[in-house]
């Protein structure tokens, strides 16, 4: 394959929308020193401005207490307190890392949660309560107390720079919201009105749904009821479990999941899962979990343009409001082996470039494997969502986003098809250099042919020097090095440092030809490899 980039190629801004925010686990983790250290590294090296996490109101943050929690006497419930000090410590750590919070207002404190027979706990490791409040007036009082705490601690000038998002993925019952769409809309209305009564300048939005859903219905509700909304937020993964972006005719559920209120409906599923576990030879927790949560992106023919198509629809639905994708990535399956491979790197590079014109900001899920949504696995490489492992070793996806971060703010307009094929290309300009990024992206990664593709580049550029960075089997691949060590469960500091250094992705000298004003470069691309050329056109 051959590409030619002319000096007459028009230019457009390089929209680094993913620098708007990054995701992480839940709020309690933000109290850890290693979390803060990694967060600052992400800010300093990738330029990401904000961080978003779940569960600022979960009971492990102890925001709403009463005396009965210490002395279990009926009369003790009449002695309550709000305590947002742990929230303040978490936000202090975010600010000390050079970033700002993107505040996800979730989940429900036990002392406020409705008790009406519906299941109250979500299906995650830290057991969030995912139901509406029992008393809307009590919820409003709680939200306003939280806002007063923030304004007193940080000042209005600071807090008004933050974003406040009401809940997380309320379209997913049993996971994040055991309520109806109507109940979520009420939650949003009560929350935003409580906030605006304290400070009208604070930015609040939603619906924070999975798979680009509910936007039309949400905005229609806000319009009909004159409910304030400052931005639209939603999420998108290539392998989301539910289908159908709103207004596109797809189902919001395929109907295959049994209803939680019918335990007998789960019996065939449980028998199937038990048989699958019996068949696992190496019975580690991780292997069993992977058997129960298979990687859909390897077992199903998933399209690689779902985010592109759905974000175009969401852009139209959001109208003039800012549109933020506050979670996105290649895989929605936690523990998937390929999360640690360059498959995620190639997908994230391609997708970040593809969707740039459709949204105002986005947040890759997530920055670190310091994360325990389903289970805190001890293995350094366990298929976590992070750009960094739990000990801070950069994965291929980190190195790919570093390439995009280092790319110039001016992008050469090579046309929409340039990034849509299996082999994609993007080019950029920065002071004193031109940059070319190549990738070969496929959704299935494990059983593909290993033969590389040869790519030739011709550029109208006069080089002083050319360097190249690679993400491939031997560059930026700490997973392979860890497996060669025998996949040890734990690592000491020397081993962490060694893996980080040996898997580093750095600029290396690159051979080239320059004749008659044309620079020629050549490289080979394996499946899901990423290559970044820097053509230095000025004296270094």
Residue ranges with strand state E in 330-464? 361-364, 410-412, 423-430, 433-440, 453-459
Among candidate residues 92, 70, 88, 91, the one with its CA nearest the CA of residue 79: 70
DSSP, collapsed to helix, strand or coil, labels residue 161 as coil
User: Cβ atoms within 10 A of the Cβ of 139, count?
Assistant: 19
Distance of alpha carbon 212 from alpha carbon 148, whole angstroms: 32
Residue ranges with strand state E in 388-485? 410-412, 423-430, 433-440, 453-459, 465-471
Six-digit token pair at 146? 């939280």
Distance of alpha carbon 212 from alpha carbon 221, whole angstroms: 17
| Positions marked active-site | 169, 327
Residue 79 is given by DSSP the state -
Distance of alpha carbon 185 from alpha carbon 170, whole angstroms: 10
What stretch of H or E contains 149?
A: helix 136-154
Given phi > 0 = left and psi -120 to 50 = alpha, else beta, which region is 514? beta
Contact present, 208 and 233 (Cβ < 8 Å) = yes
Distance of alpha carbon 339 from alpha carbon 342, whole angstroms: 8
Positive/negative CA dihedral, 276, 277, 282, 286:
positive
Contact present, 168 and 54 (Cβ < 8 Å) = yes
């Amino acid at each position: 394959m051959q590409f030619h980039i002319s000096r007459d190629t028009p230019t457009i801004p390089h929209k680094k929308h993913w620098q708007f925010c990054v995701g992480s686990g839940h709020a309690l983790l933000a109290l850890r020193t290693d979390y803060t250290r990694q967060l600052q590294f992400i800010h300093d090296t990738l330029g990401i401005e904000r961080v978003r996490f779940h569960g600022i109101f979960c009971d492990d943050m102890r925001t709403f207490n009463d005396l009965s929690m210490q002395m279990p006497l009926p009369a003790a419930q009449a002695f309550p307190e709000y305590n947002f000090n742990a929230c303040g410590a978490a936000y202090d750590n975010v600010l000390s890392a050079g970033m700002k919070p993107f505040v996800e207002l979730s989940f429900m404190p036990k002392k406020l949660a409705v008790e009406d027979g519906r299941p109250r706990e979500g299906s995650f490791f830290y057991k969030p309560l995912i139901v509406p409040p029992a008393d809307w007036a009590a919820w409003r009082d709680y939200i306003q107390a939280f806002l007063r705490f923030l304004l007193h601690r940080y000042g209005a000038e600071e807090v008004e720079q933050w974003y406040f998002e009401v809940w997380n993925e309320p379209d997913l019952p049993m996971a994040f919201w055991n309520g109806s769409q109507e109940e979520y809309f009420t939650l949003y209305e009560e929350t935003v009105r409580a906030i605006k009564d304290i400070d009208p300048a604070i930015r609040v939005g939603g619906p924070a749904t999975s798979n680009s859903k509910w936007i039309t219905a949400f905005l229609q509700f806000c319009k009909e009821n004159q409910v304030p909304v400052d931005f639209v937020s939603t999420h998108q993964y290539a392998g989301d479990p539910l289908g159908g972006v709103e207004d596109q005719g797809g189902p919001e559920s395929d109907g295959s999941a049994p209803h939680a209120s019918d335990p007998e409906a789960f019996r065939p599923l449980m028998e199937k899962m038990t048989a699958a576990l019996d068949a696992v030879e190496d019975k580690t927790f991780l292997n069993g979990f992977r058997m129960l949560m298979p990687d859909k992106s390897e077992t199903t023919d998933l399209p690689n343009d779902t985010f592109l198509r759905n974000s175009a629809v969401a852009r139209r639905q959001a109208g003039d409001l800012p549109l933020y994708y506050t979670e996105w990535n290649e895989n929605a399956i936690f523990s998937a082996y390929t999360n640690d491979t360059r498959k995620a790197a190639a997908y994230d590079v391609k997708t970040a470039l593809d969707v740039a014109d459709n949204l105002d900001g986005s947040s890759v899920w997530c920055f670190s494997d310091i994360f325990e949504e389903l289970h805190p696995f001890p293995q350094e490489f366990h298929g976590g969502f992070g750009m960094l492992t739990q000990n801070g070793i950069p994965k291929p996806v980190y190195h790919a986003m570093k390439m995009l971060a280092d790319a110039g703010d001016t992008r050469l307009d090579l046309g929409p098809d340039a990034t849509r094929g299996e082999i994609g290309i993007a080019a950029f300009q920065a002071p004193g250099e031109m940059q070319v990024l190549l990738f070969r992206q496929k959704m299935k990664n494990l059983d593909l042919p290993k033969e590389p593709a040869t790519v030739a580049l011709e550029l109208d550029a006069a080089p002083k020097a050319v360097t190249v960075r690679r993400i491939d089997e031997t560059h930026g691949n700490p997973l392979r090095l860890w497996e060669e060590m025998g996949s040890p469960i734990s690592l000491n500091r020397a081993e962490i440092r060694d893996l980080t250094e040996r898997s580093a992705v750095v600029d290396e000298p690159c051979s080239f030809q320059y004749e008659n004003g044309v620079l020629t470069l050549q490289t080979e691309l394996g499946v899901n490899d990423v290559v970044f050329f820097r053509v230095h056109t000025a004296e270094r």
